[in-house]
Amino acid sequence: MADLWTDVFSDAKLLEEIVPVAIDTALLQGIVMRTKESPNSSDVVNFAPFTLLPSPVPRTLFEQAKSVQEDFNLLVDRLSQNPSFLENTLSSTIKVDDFIEKLFKVYRHVLSEGLAQAVFLGINRSDYMFDCRADGTTALKQIEINTIAASFGGLSSQTPAVHQHVLKALGKPEDVSNVLSNNPSLGISRGIARAWELYGSQRAVVMFLVENVQRNIFDHRYIENELWNRNIKVIRRRLTDVYERGSLDEKRCLYVDGYEVAVAYFRTGYMPQDYSEQAWEARLMMERSRAVKCPDIATQLVGTKKVQQELSRPLVLEKFLPDQPKAVSRIRETFAGLYSLDIGEEGDHTVKIAMANPEQYVLKPQREGGGNNIYGDEIREVLERVKDSTERTSYILMDKIKPQPTG
């Protein structure tokens, strides 16, 4: 497959011919997004970004990523049920990060009142890169785990068909079988449907919590349509809609526009700009309710970078998976180096090594959604500004992964 990348990208005429084929196939398969100019209208759409050719993945690393996912799901679930761990781990972050502080305020409120929610649903996406080591081998290393609004399950369900067609058009039918089928939208919808079923009301609905700007709506629609095919009613609402037209009854059932909500599936709510004061009130209302939140606020907190860094410490995984020694080994094998910037000797050492060799690291703030990481000389600039203040505790430092170039 690597040779094919080289052949295609070194042949300008072939590239010119195959690119329109790939784009048209993506449009035929529904791999589309709304445009920046009209983000809330489907009158005009464009193809979502995708690679022209499928990326080669070592089979051993692919199997490793599959096998460790259940381990991560179990770990996330156990962490979400441990308030003292979340409190201790995020105590320094809460002091300097207003967003995490507000999430934790809602979390504490719900704990003090007592959980009404009895069924819990996690849809977690673990992101990896292949790290090239000094001995010439590659290793699977986790970038992060997403516990809220993990996207592109819908569009990626359609991507294998595009790559298979492109390979046929290039005269490589023998490679088509190497592109594995993948249907995460079906798996996600099954999980949501099971949570809806366990909630126990045939009249209740699944509510997608959506952004004010909805360019990625088609990714949602694949999952929605799978639910409709199961005769499960789906509604789409913004956080402000829930504030304005939502309520709890005496049993803490959640109602929005007269619909009882069985599952509240978040496709928003992971960045500070997603929240107004009204949106925070809506989030609190939902967390207090019986509805199955995906994720509940504890699970969202588990997805923070600070928790990721804390899990890399010796014996922490063993504490939460004492009955799963093999799972501990599988998880730990995926960890890259992660370093604390908390105030104290350990954090001071982290600042020192990062400023001395910034090209070897990535500085990661407590933010989701992409485009927030800091690299190279900018690491030195940021740390020079925050090194003597508690603001530095809103970041973690991670070894920079060196991926194998393709093509």
**Residue 135's pLDDT is what?**
86
To the nearest 10°, report the CA torsion of 81, 84, 88, 93: 50
pLDDT recorded at residue 1? 63
- The predicted-structure confidence for 359-406, as pLDDT tens digits, reads as follows 999 999 887 666 789 999 999 999 999 999 999 999 999 999 998 777
Contacts 24+ apart (CB under 8 A), 342-351: 342/92, 342/393, 343/92, 343/390, 343/392, 343/393, 347/392, 347/393, 350/397, 351/383, 351/387, 351/392
Q: Which pLDDT tens digit goes with each residue over 21-52?
A: 999 999 999 999 999 999 999 999 999 999 99
Average pLDDT over residues 225-236: 98
Q: What residue type is assigned to position 165 of the chain?
A: H
Classified as helix, coil or strand, 330 is: helix
Residue 300 has pLDDT above 70, yes or no: yes
β strands within 2-137, DSSP E: 32-34, 45-47, 125-132
Contact between residue 221 and residue 210 where contact means Cβ atoms under 8 Å apart: no
Confidence of residue 10 (pLDDT cuts 50, 70, 90): confident
Alpha-carbon distance of 322 to 315, in angstroms, equals 10
Cα separation, 159 vs 355, whole angstroms? 41
Residue 294 three-state SS: strand
pLDDT value at residue 282? 98
pLDDT band at 331, cuts 50/70/90? very high
Instruction: Spell out the domain ranges in the chain.
Output: 2-57+152-178, 62-90+112-127+184-303
Cβ atoms within 10 A of the Cβ of 171, count? 8
Q: What DSSP character marks residue 370?
A: S
Instruction: Summarize pLDDT for 120-137 with one digit per residue, the tens.
Output: 999 999 999 999 988 889
User: Which of 76-80, 93-97, 179-183 has maximum average pLDDT?
Assistant: 76-80
**pLDDT at position 2:** 61
User: pLDDT digits over 239-263, tens only?
Assistant: 999 999 999 999 999 999 999 999 9
The two counts, helices (H) then strands (E), for the chain are 16, 13
Domain 2-57+152-178: state its class: alpha beta
The residue ranking higher by pLDDT, 5 or 276, is 276
pLDDT of residue 342: 94
pLDDT on residue 133: 87
The model's pTM is 0.94
Burial of 250 (0-12, 13-18, 19+ CB in 10 A): exposed
What mean pLDDT do residues 272-290 have? 98
CA angle 339, 345, 347 (to 5 degrees): 30
What's the CATH architecture for 62-90+112-127+184-303? 3-Layer(aba) Sandwich (3.40)
**154 contacts 185 by C-beta, under 8 angstroms:** yes
User: What is the separation of C-alpha 297 from the centre of its chain, rounded to a whole number of angstroms?
Assistant: 15
Mention every residue, 6+ apart, whose C-beta is less than 8 A from residue 190: 226
Average pLDDT, the chain: 95
In the prediction, which pLDDT does 263 show? 98
Burial group, residue 332, by CB count within 10 angstroms (0-12, 13-18, 19+): middle
What pLDDT is recorded for position 6? 76
Residue 369: predicted pLDDT: 61
Higher pLDDT, 1 or 297: 297
What confidence tens digit (pLDDT) does each residue in 124-171 have? 999 999 999 888 899 999 999 999 999 999 999 999 999 999 999 999
